[in-house]
Structure 1
Amino acid sequence: MKEVKIESVFQVYEGILELPEDLQELMQKAIEARQKAYAPYSKFYVGVALLLDNNEVVLGSNQENASYPSGLCAERTAIYYAGAQYPKAKILKMAITAASQLRTTLEPIPPCGACRQSISEYEIRQKSPIEMYFMGERGKVVRSYSLSNLLPLIFDKSQL
């Protein structure tokens, strides 16, 4: 038996204003997307802004419905739209923000497991990392240089 240690490294910014100006703008677009979320059941609103290598910015927000589990998270809404509209473009950066009507979200909120798996598919497909920035409603912003930093033991097509 051999023990293996896996570490993740993140950078933590005290707030949006500590980010470089281009990332402040991207996060602001994610905040605007969050305000368009449709979350009447969970009251949890998420917005995403993706920066593509063709300089396009793609937005996404979570979309719920009465058949609660069949809604779609903001991250997947955005990356699937990017994949459908700009299939040859690479996703360079992803800004994520989440807020709740039930309480103030001050801690950074990372993507859920299903979104991590989907983002992983795009990193593998484009053969380059997606830099991710995530936050709550306000407060600290966390940077991960890649999805593989959040999900180090990925399941991918090589295992099929």
Structure 2
Amino acid sequence: MVNHEIKIAFQEYDNLHELNTSDQHLCLESVKALKNSHSPYSKFRVGVAMLLQSGKIIYASNQENVAYPSGLCAERVALFYWGANHPDDPIITMAITAHSDEFAITKPITSCGSCLQVLAEYEKKQDQQINIILYCQQGPIWKIKGIQNQLPFLFFEDRLITQ
């Protein structure tokens, strides 16, 4: 038997002003993305602002549907939009924030497993790690570099990729 240990790394900031100017700006842009959330059922809005290498920012928000599986998380909305429109402009950083009409959010909200899996494939596609900022507006902020620090056992099989 062999014991293995997996470690993840991330940075925690007490407030927005501890981040560099670019990351502060992206966090504030993610708050703007919340306004287009369609979340009448959960009343839980998620906004994403995604910085591309060219300096362009892509905005996305969660989109719910009364047939629940038909909705889509903000992260996948942003990633799929990027893949369809800007695949040659690498993603540098994604800032993700959330707001609930029902309760206060006091710690960073992490992406769901489906979003992490899509993020993993797009990170591999662009052959470059993506910085993720989980912006909690009323609590700490987490900055995470690369998918391995969020999903260490991601599903990926190189033989499934056709070139």
How would you bin the TM-score normalised by the shorter chain? over 0.9
Structure 1 residues 36-67: Cα deviation after superposition (integer angstroms, max 9, x where no partner):
21100111100001111111100110000110
For residues 17 and 36 of structure 2, what CA distance do their matches in structure 1 show?
23
RMSD of equivalent CA atoms: 1.1
1:23 match: 23
The number of residue pairs the alignment matches comes to 160
- Secondary structure of 1:102 counterpart: coil
TM-score scaled by length of structure 1: 0.96
Q: Identity over the aligned pairs, expressed in percent?
A: 40
1:76 match: 76
For residues 80 and 12 of structure 2, what CA distance do their matches in structure 1 show?
28
- Which residues of 2 match residues 98-137 of structure 1 at below 5 A? 98-137=98-137
What is the Cα deviation at residue 6 of structure 1? Answer: 0.2
- 2:133 partner amino acid: Y
Name which of structure 1's ranges 78-87 and 24-33 shifts more when overlaid on structure 2: 78-87
- Secondary structure of 1:35 counterpart: helix
What is the Cα deviation at residue 99 of structure 1? Answer: 1.1
- Which residues of 2 match residues 30-109 of structure 1 at below 5 A? 30-109=30-109
Cα gap change, 1:19/1:66 in structure 2, threshold over 3 Å: closer, same or farther? same
- Secondary structure of 2:36 counterpart: coil
TM-score scaled by length of structure 2: 0.94
For residues 107 and 32 of structure 1, what CA distance do their matches in structure 2 show?
19
What is the Cα deviation at residue 69 of structure 1? Answer: 1.7
For residues 69 and 101 of structure 1, what CA distance do their matches in structure 2 show?
22
Ranges of 4+ aligned residues in structure 1 off by more than 3 Å = none
Structure 2: which 5+ runs fail to align? none
- 1:48 partner amino acid: V
For residues 100 and 106 of structure 1, what CA distance do their matches in structure 2 show?
11
What is the Cα deviation at residue 159 of structure 1? Answer: 5.9
- 1:24 partner amino acid: Q
For residues 148 and 90 of structure 1, what CA distance do their matches in structure 2 show?
18
Do 1:63 and 1:73's aligned partners in 2 also have CA atoms closer than 8 Å?
A: yes
